[in-house]
Structure 1
Amino acid sequence: MYDHFKNKGLCFVFCAFCTVFFVGCEPGPDQIELREKIKKVEVFIVKTEDFEETIVASAVASAHMEYRISTEVSGLLKIKQAEWGDRVKKGETLFEIDSENFILIVKAKKAALARALAQLGFMQAEHKRKKPLLQSKTLSQAGWEKLQFDLAAAISEKNQAQVALDQAQRNLRLTVLKSPIDGMILETYHDTGEVIAVGTVLARMADTTWMTFDVGVSDLELSHLNLGDTVFVRIDALSKEERKGQITRISGNASPTRGTFPLEVRLENAKRSILPGMVARLRLSGEKHKTQVIIPMMAIHQENDIPFVFLVQDQKALRRPVKLGKVLGDRVLIQKGLKPGDAIVLIAQGRLKIGEPLDVIQASVKP
């Protein structure tokens, strides 16, 4: 009986001990609150890298070569075979001026040339016939000199008649205006039935196999650009795909109005998909930098216009002032304040305080 009560007492003591032990091992309210106060952060591991600055500019596409189709003779515009937007081949007829008067002029000049040739033939025969008379002194010296003068005049009249005929034939040919290139008609300015004066521009056309873009850059940017450099071009109206162009001209003089240096970028347009006037975004390679510290912009904080980052050391937050350099999109160059291997806070749960403990949940070498 005594043993029975003794065993029950031991069991009671053992249960009480276990209860006290496990209750004592559970975290108290203070410990739970402390754990909840430790903020979780995501860090970025600082490293050095090489980078190249990018010059971004907008420009309007222009045809590599533009031509103005203008008249060299006056007359009535009889035929118009070109409209804006048409693609034409070299040698294709675009316009015709009424040629009726020019045909009549050619006929008249041919007749004048025939008369001059006849007169010249007569004078040459006279010269040949009377030359022996001079030798036999049957013809006076004065008569011989007059004969030579008349022969020279006949030759001159023949030459003048030939020039007049050539000019008349040329004017007749100029009544037909043909395309000087394979290209596209950009604009036309006159319609059939209008009387056209000499020098009137009938149309403007372009060779669009190559397109050019005029870009202005600063003097600092200019020093890093060279002829032949690759330029990436994206046409807003077309696909987002970038095309490769080249710098073909660099001006040595700054624009007096803009204060920038003009340069020309040339881009192949074999499919003729790029049209004059389309807006493009150009990306040029600028200054190159070696082994620079670059961090995500989101890691930068400011207080009283002084930039700083939160550094993680021994799982605690430290404040580190930094000197900022150039902004590179969503990243920034650090000129002073950080070194490779430093862990800086990118994302934190709430506002950080100097010296407070941190729980680093993710380390990354990329922004």
Structure 2
Amino acid sequence: MNASFRAHSHPRRHTWVTPKQIALSASALVMLTACSGDASNGQGNGQNGMPPSPVTIAEVQTESAIYTAQYPARVRGAREVEVRAQVGGILQQRNFHEGHAVSQGDTLFQIDPEPYQLAVNAAQAELADATAMHQQADREWRRVSGLFESNAASEREYDQARSAIEAAKARLARAESGLADAQRNLRYTRVEAPISGLAGVESVTEGNLISTGTYLTHIVQTDTVHLHFAIPESDAQLYRVHLQQTHAQQSNEQGSFVAVTNSQGQSYAVQGRINYVAPSVDTQTGRVVMRAEVDNTNAELLPGQFVRVELALQAFDDVVLIDPTTVSQGPDGPQVYVVNGTEQAQARPVTLGPKVNGKQVVLEGLSAGDKLIINGHVAVRDGAPVMITNGQ
């Protein structure tokens, strides 16, 4: 046991310090003490000995702003009508140029009217016969009713005369209705434009036998067009609140108008007015369908065209607008740096709103007159000294 213990034990080693090492350690201690004394006496440069950071500032101002958003939209004619034949027959003639403007009431097609004219003639003859029978029955009724009042005619004769005049009246009404129907069908052989607009291509050429309901062409109203688009549910809520506020302020419904741009961002000279907002959110898309009406008298927009609409969602009064690059992320959220009276950087937490025309809306945290650091804020810290370089 004693031999094993001696085999695993080691003798204690002693470390000796020379007089030269003691002198060097004392010199280093003196130098550290001197440097510490200089810093504590304010002889250093800036915080922790760092020089002031150069920064550029701008004085904060408040202004009004309107937050808008853009959405894709599709142009449609205010009215788009399919023109169909209301009677059958041989299509004799087309009286319009495809793709050109037509006016309401213009004759677009002519269907062979001869069969319908014959039907009118027959209805007229039937009406004449019914009229004659009615007149005869009326005369008989007057004669018999007079005799019946003087007890010169029996009750049976009286009833027969009354039944005859009622039947004659019914036949006359039926003949008048038949003539009106025949005349209507004759009018339908002339296919008219139901609205004014641009006519499409014909689907059936002259000489074809068509039936009732055959599609012939279509017409799109272009002097007034509709812009169909949809916005997210959250934006729809903002829009409704904004619209209520503008109505309350009697500002001529500013929130109900939209600006129109093409896919390249170029603005049109037209302006649309919201005339429909869906009463519910589409459960499949999470969006609210909207529609704007545009006076397109100058034909700037074409039905089927893709455009973008800009809609006002919020209005701000007396808010601060700053460059978004001046905002950084602090321990408590978004923050900016301002310069206080001792030319030190001060971190200021801010509450942000949306961006308007590339500027960041600041709802809380900045006031008019604050000196906001707009350049050099990346290199500064809260409480660090700064050197304002504006104009230098």
TM-score (ref. length: structure 1): 0.73
Judged with a 3 Å threshold, the aligned counterparts in structure 2 of structure 1 residues 120 and 296 are, in CA distance, closer, same or farther, namely same
- 1:66 corresponds to which residue? 80
**1:301 to partner: Cα distance:** 3.5
Judged with a 3 Å threshold, the aligned counterparts in structure 2 of structure 1 residues 321 and 39 are, in CA distance, closer, same or farther, namely closer
Bigger Cα displacement from structure 2, 334-343 vs 167-176: 334-343
The root-mean-square deviation of aligned C-alpha atoms, in Å, is 3.7
Out of 258, 275, 281, the position equivalent to 1:254 is 281
Judged with a 3 Å threshold, the aligned counterparts in structure 2 of structure 1 residues 60 and 306 are, in CA distance, closer, same or farther, namely same
Q: Aligned letter for 2:63? A: E
Where do 5+ consecutive residues of structure 1 fail to align? 1-36
2:174 corresponds to 1:163: no
Judged with a 3 Å threshold, the aligned counterparts in structure 2 of structure 1 residues 318 and 140 are, in CA distance, closer, same or farther, namely closer
- 1:236 corresponds to which residue? 262
- Tell whether the 8 Å contact from 1:72 to 1:174 is kept in structure 2 after alignment: yes
Q: Aligned letter for 2:292? A: V
Equivalence map 1:1-367=2 (5 Å): 41-82=55-96, 84-124=98-138, 141-143=155-157, 145-186=159-200, 188-215=202-229, 216=231, 217-225=235-243, 229-230=253-254, 231-236=257-262, 240-302=267-329, 307-312=334-339, 318=345, 320=347, 322-329=349-356, 330-348=358-376, 352-354=379-381, 355=384, 357-358=386-387, 360-362=389-391
- Tell whether the 8 Å contact from 1:39 to 1:358 is kept in structure 2 after alignment: yes
Percent of pairs identical after alignment?
Answer: 23
**1:171 to partner: Cα distance:** 0.6
Where do 5+ consecutive residues of structure 2 fail to align? 1-50
Task: Please give the alpha-carbon distance, in whole angstroms, between the structure 1 residues aligned to 2:243 and 2:203.
Answer: 41
Task: Please give the alpha-carbon distance, in whole angstroms, between the structure 2 residues aligned to 1:313 and 1:139.
Answer: 122
Residues 285-311 of structure 1: per-residue CA shift (max 9 Å, x gap): 222223323210122344789544444
Task: Please give the alpha-carbon distance, in whole angstroms, between the structure 1 residues aligned to 2:163 and 2:277.
Answer: 63
Bigger Cα displacement from structure 2, 124-133 vs 354-363: 124-133
Residues 220-242 of structure 1: per-residue CA shift (max 9 Å, x gap): 33221257624242241796245
Hey, which of these two has a bigger chunk of strand by percent?
1
TM-score (ref. length: structure 2): 0.69
Judged with a 3 Å threshold, the aligned counterparts in structure 2 of structure 1 residues 233 and 288 are, in CA distance, closer, same or farther, namely closer
- Tell whether the 8 Å contact from 2:91 to 2:205 is kept in structure 1 after alignment: yes
**1:173 to partner: Cα distance:** 0.5
**1:345 to partner: Cα distance:** 3.3
Residues matched between the structures, number: 326
